[in-house]
Structure 1
């Protein structure tokens, strides 16, 4: 099979006069199958290629903006990994990254190719990512993102019915990492309180937890208690759901009897 054209590769490749053992993105495959030959850096644009996604974006631009930011985060990570591992000479790294952009991202940044100082800079790859990460392009408004993350941790992040503790704690830790990135430090006891709310424990479970932890509410002890009592929590949740269903059936029968 012939090599795809250099401009269509998902990441920068070595030119004839550039020495590089291997392109760290060349063999990347998108989930679910082989990546198309003309795919841009993984995750940066592929989210917008299916009809279902485009239909969901018709109701406004907020979802589109969020998806663009999430896609850029993935692209930025892969680009930084490539910059850290490539043997391409420094002055060529930024132009190679730029050349492999497509559509709107390329149109937004192609002016850099006319900037001789950028083209000759030994840090043009990092400078390109810095420009892309501004809130005017694809980066986040840090203050808004911080507030959104705080709102998720405080109000909206909740353990779903039948969700295992590992899956839930992974979602929880993701939001805590985002808070740490914004240098938001909350007291451990308060984080433990928020974690209890997010777990949606019953009053009886909270009493058991407090007795087990001797009143401590740090996330560490809350997680430990949840893991130890995972089976009991799942069983009580099942019983509660069945009880509510039975009460609803009885109430419906009473209404029918009138």
Structure 2
């Protein structure tokens, strides 16, 4: 089937610039084409994409929409992030415990082809006699994908697990809305609860020490840490904690650890 996509370029470069339409379609042999003129057969269903703005989430969103975001993984060299941006650019960062920050390893462009993520970037030549930059095209095969988890097979046939912060599937309830906001504990930490997502930071600093996804089911708060540098200076991916909600009102929250006699006291500041 010939599928046609019209891409509207919403570029605000100059007030007199005219927006152009670019057609994207896949022919019967599976080849993807781009052109400013439509293909000869326009009898197929057409889909409109808006480039340059955040895509609207729908019940049948594209794979590109699912892939956008910062994906965290644990490698043999430590914590690493794969940041796939919705403008077609990507960054790969490696956590440096020495510097206490994420260092950029590679930057370039990415695209999605079926179940594959294609990364295109440049890096230093491994030849000691040639210091020039070389172009690299790397293929990652997505074996499974959800709104918070992704399994990828790399070019060496190794499977890598990724996590990301994403509250898209968060269900609304009164107690969940009551819990949302900035909570301050007695040990200098701030717990920010937003729509299905949480963040841990110092009281007076914005830098995240931990982030992840949370949910409240039958009075039990579950925190799934996408990354955690609070308890683990080298970083850890995928830790999960469960807390029973002992007390909750507009200004006070007390949590009891589900498996240990530990209480976590919070007050909310407006």
TM-score w.r.t. structure 2 length? 0.25
1 or 2 for the larger relative contact order (CA 8 Å, sep ≥6)? 1
Structure whose residues are more often strand by fraction: 2
CA radius of gyration, larger in: 1
Q: Which structure features the higher share of helix residues?
A: 1
